[in-house]
Chains A and B, each alone.
Chain A
Amino acid sequence: AQTVTQSQPEMSVQEAETVTLSCTYDTSESDYYLFWYKQPPSRQMILVIRQEAYKQQNATENRFSVNFQKAAKSFSLKISDSQLGDAAMYFCAYQDSGGGADGLTFGKGTHLIIQP
Chain B
Amino acid sequence: NAGVTQTPKFQVLKTGQSMTLQCAQDMNHEYMSWYRQDPGMGLRLIHYSVGAGITDQGEVPNGYNVSRSTTEDFPLRLLSAAPSQTSVYFCASSYFWKAYNSPLHFGNGTRLTVT
State the A residues within 8 Å of B (CB). Answer: 4, 9, 33, 35, 42-45, 47, 50, 52, 91, 93, 95, 97, 101-109
Known: A35-B99, A95-B98. A45 touches B106 (CB 8 A): yes
Decide if B35 is an interface residue (CB 8 Å cutoff).
yes
Closest to A4 in B: B42
7 A-B pairs with the lowest CB-CB distances in the bound complex, closest first = A106-B42, A45-B106, A101-B97, A33-B100, A103-B45, A43-B109, A106-B43
Chain B: minimal CB distance from A61 (Å): 12
Distance A47 CA – B88 CA, assembled complex (angstroms): 19
Partner of B45, one of A47, A91, A104: A104
Q: Give the interface residue-count category, chain B.
A: 20 to 34
Tally of contacts, chain A with chain B, CB under 8 A? 65
Distance A52 CA – B101 CA, assembled complex (angstroms): 10
Q: Is the CB of A109 within 8 A of B42?
A: yes
Partner of B103, one of A43, A47, A97: A47
Kindly list chain A residues whose C-beta atoms are within 8 Å of the C-beta of B41.
108-109
Distance A7 CA – B52 CA, assembled complex (angstroms): 39
Closest to B47 in A: A103
Kindly list chain B residues whose C-beta atoms are within 8 Å of the C-beta of A43.
88, 108-109
Kindly list chain A residues whose C-beta atoms are within 8 Å of the C-beta of B77.
none
Q: Is the CB of B44 within 8 A of A44?
A: no
* Apart from A95-B99, A104-B43, A105-B42: 7 A-B pairs, beta carbons within 8 A: A43-B88, A47-B103, A50-B99, A50-B103, A91-B43, A101-B50, A103-B92
